[in-house]
Amino acid sequence: MKLNKIEHIGIAVKDIKEASRFYEDVLRCQISEQIEVPERKIKIAFTEISGVKLEFLMPTDKGSVVAKFIEKRGEGIHHICFEVDDVEKATAELKDMGVELVDDSPRLGAEGKKIIFIKPKSTHGVLIELKER
Ligand code: ZN
């Protein structure tokens, strides 16, 4: 498998509006409209800096994995996403190599592209997302 680029960096925040006070007012980033992802009980929003996005993840429910992440570790970097050409192929390769994945097979992300997450256990502590080009 070949990683094309860092597609985005996921940042867990308690409140996207609150976070925009720093990211928009201080860093002058433009944060997109919030997108609801009901199956993960989060809302997300993006900003882009020369082709690399920041993905803000805000829990909408205490039961969300992002809420649990913030409870345990506080706000901050949640995952790094790399772009690959073929997520199905990458998933098969990872499985062959015994790498632990969060889901059994790829699913569609909020932007309608195939994604898969690799467990931090297999990556020296970083939740890695692979996203199809
Ligand atoms: Zn992501």
Q: How far is the CA of 68 from the centre of ligand 1 (A)?
A: 17
The pLDDT tens digits for 64-105 are: 999 999 999 999 999 999 999 999 999 999 999 999 999 999
CATH number reported for the structural domain that contains residue 31 in this entry = 3.10.180.10
What's residue 57's pLDDT?
A: 98
For residues 6 and 53, what is the distance between their CA atoms, to the nearest angstrom? 8
Report the separation in Å between the CA atom of 53 and the middle of ligand 1, taken as the mean of its atom positions: 9
Distance from C-alpha of 84 to C-alpha of 6, rounded to nearest angstrom:
10
Residues contacting 86, CB < 8 A, separation 6+: 132
Confidence (pLDDT) at 25: 96
Q: Is the pLDDT of residue 111 over 90?
A: no
pTM: 0.93
By residue range, what is the domain housing residue 12? 5-132
Count of the separate structural domains present in the chain: 1
User: How many angstroms does the Cα of residue 23 sit away from the middle of ligand 1?
Assistant: 18
